Chains A and B, each alone.
Chain A
Amino acid sequence: QQPVQSPQAVILREGEDAVINCSSSKALYSVHWYRQKHGEAPVFLMILLKGGEQKGHEKISASFNEKKQQSSLYLTASQLSYSGTYFCGTVLGRNTDKLIFGTGTRLQVFP
């Protein structure tokens, strides 16, 4: 079952914040976050392992709530370069590397 992301799309002005959620119907071992520009391959942002940790670099951070089977990506003070489609990729167990991608969230940042 594909994880569901919300919102489906978001429009921001430069400097505004956004939160993207990823919700799975199955227990998760880890969550990966990617950003994809149109016509290009996804670019790895970060990975969160079970344990409820929060990670981040620069102005992009994420959290993982293992019990709720959810992860959230936080974008603060958005920049034009943040535009793209964001996908969460979920891994269900320690013994598998298969990524099941979420439905995607399209983010557009305007000046």
Chain B
Amino acid sequence: GAVVSQHPSRVICKSGTSVKIECRSLDFQATTMFWYRQFPKQSLMLMATSNEGSKATYEQGVEKDKFLINHASLTLSTLTVASAHPEDSSFYICSAEPGIDEQYFGPGTRLTVT
């Protein structure tokens, strides 16, 4: 149990285009999902908390107009990187909570912006 999927696993796009990443909890419902970004050889940095039915809560320094989050249902959250640039290239990981105090992570999405 407690499986989280992400799609796509890899995406390469040109600078200026927008990219949508989906995060799904496959066998449980998640009121809250989290989005992280990880640069090579660095730790995971929380970008935002995605709440079903309400606006996402963004961490300091994360542009909400650039990283658009939609938590459409109890099993799906999407992250859209608007007008992506090379500095947005990173590993994006989502997580979801099947219960109290446990976060399970999706397999991640490797974004490369050329």
| Known pairs A40-B108, A41-B108; A101 contacts B103 (CB<8 A) | no
Name the A residues within 8 Å of B107 (CB-CB). Answer: 40-41
Using known A-B contacts A40-B108, A41-B108, determine if residue A97 contacts B103 with beta carbons closer than 8 Å.
yes
Main secondary structure of the interface of B (DSSP, over half): strand
Contact status B49-A101, CB under 8 Å = no
Q: Which chain B residues border A91 with CB–CB below 8 Å?
A: 101
Q: Are A87 and B43 in contact (CB under 8 A)?
A: yes
Number of residues of chain A lying within 8 A (CB) of chain B: 23
Q: Interface residues of B, CB < 8 Å — how many?
A: 21
A2 within 8 A of B: yes
Give A66 Cβ to nearest chain B Cβ, in Å: 16
Besides the known contacts A100-B46, A104-B43, 18 further A-B residue pairs in the complex with CB atoms under 8 A apart: A30-B101, A34-B105, A39-B110, A41-B107, A42-B105, A44-B104, A47-B102, A49-B101, A87-B44, A97-B34, A97-B49, A98-B34, A98-B46, A99-B46, A99-B95, A101-B43, A102-B43, A103-B43
What are 15 residue pairs bridging A and B, where the CB atoms are less than 8 Å apart in the complex?
A30-B101, A39-B108, A41-B105, A42-B105, A44-B102, A47-B101, A87-B43, A91-B101, A97-B34, A97-B49, A98-B46, A99-B34, A99-B103, A103-B43, A104-B42
Q: Which residues does B use to contact A, with CB under 8 Å? A: 32, 34, 36, 42-46, 49, 93, 95, 97, 101-108, 110
